[in-house]
């Protein structure tokens, strides 16, 4: 074949083979680095808006009871 070629570890390697290997390695390493498991985020509740401390305590207790009933 005509054109440039390189000798790597005693074998003839053409430039297009080097390009494919380089792009494949870069893509493979990128996928490997970003393939970690996704962390589940705990849903956040909106803040409790109450006029008095007693009302806020009542709502908090009620929400805790609901959470216990779910389990």
Distance CA 37, CA 39 (A): 6
Task: Report residue 29 as tokens.
Answer: 């390493």
Task: Report residue 12 as tokens.
Answer: 């003839």
pTM: 0.46
- Which residues share a beta bridge with 11? 8
In the prediction, which pLDDT does 1 show? 52
Backbone angles phi, psi at 31, to 5 degrees: -65, -40
- Written as tens digits, the pLDDT of the chain (71 aa) is 557 899 999 999 999 999 999 999 999 999 998 887 777 777 777 888 889 999 999 999 998 999 888 87
């Amino acid at each position: 074949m005509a054109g440039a070629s390189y000798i790597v570890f005693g074998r003839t390697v053409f430039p297009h083979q080097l390009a494919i290997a380089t792009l494949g390695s870069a893509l493979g390493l990128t996928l490997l680095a970003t393939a970690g498991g996704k962390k589940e985020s705990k849903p956040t509740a909106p803040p409790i808006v109450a006029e008095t401390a007693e009302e806020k305590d009542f709502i908090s207790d009620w929400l805790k009871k609901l959470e216990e009933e779910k389990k």
